[in-house]
Amino acid sequence: MGLVDSKIYKSLEFIMTFFVLNLIWLIMCLPIFTIFPATTAMFGVVREWKRHGDTPVLATFFRILKENFIQSFIVGSLWTGAAILLLVDFMFTNQLTSDIKYLLFTFFFGLTLFFILSTVVIFPVLAHYKVTAITAIKKALILSIRYLPNTLLSLVVLSVIIALCFYFPAATLLAFSIGAYLIYSIAELGFKKFGRMEVSNRL
């Protein structure tokens, strides 16, 4: 096989790997209640790629899905509950007529922003750390603020992915797995810094 043919083959293999991961993630998200476990599994596959290189997609995905299903489901339930609570708070605040309405809007807007930033980090955290659901949430909250530039960059990546899929629906067949790879790569920088900091604090 020539050099050019080899590069073409590797490029096609690279694209196909992301396509398979993206497709299995989309399929496993269809029941709705499996969105959090499936997304954690997708990030887990990315983590294995970055750690060990060539990793079988399907076997790794379903292994991680099984190992983290309960934890991810609990976090997903709590996250969904928090999102609903924020929505109800905004609806309630909107009914107010006094000046406190604007103060509450500002407060809930800040909480919502914090919630969104933490949401970008929660899946890499679930895939990276072997901790309880509550500890994972705490780490996501801390890491999202401590390494805010990384979080904002991840948010930009997510926004681009959503916009791309909105304007070019065919992109949904590939964009989410690539987005997961980019977001995890960014989050991993914070994990390494946070890990070194935890080690130095123990010394």
Gap between the Cα atoms of 107 and 73, Å rounded = 28
Q: Dihedrals φ, ψ of 134, to 5°?
A: -65, -40
Q: Dihedrals φ, ψ of 132, to 5°?
A: -70, 165
Token pair, residue 91, equals 């609806």
Into how many domains does the chain fold? 1
CA 6 to chain centre: 33
Token pair, residue 191, equals 């994990």
Average pLDDT, the chain: 90
Q: What pLDDT was estimated at residue 96? A: 83
DSSP state of 2: -
Q: What pLDDT was estimated at residue 203? A: 43
Q: What pLDDT was estimated at residue 110? A: 93
Positions of the chain with pLDDT under 50: 199-203
Report H helices in the chain: 3-29, 35-52, 57-94, 100-128, 133-146, 148-167, 175-202
**71 lies in which domain range?**
3-202
- Measured distance between the N- and C-terminal CA atoms of the chain, rounded to whole angstroms: 54
Cβ neighbour number for residue 65 with a 10 Å cutoff: 21
The pLDDT tens digits for 77-101 are 999 999 999 999 889 888 888 788 8
Gap between the Cα atoms of 141 and 170, Å rounded = 33
DSSP state of 56: -
Q: What pLDDT was estimated at residue 159? A: 96
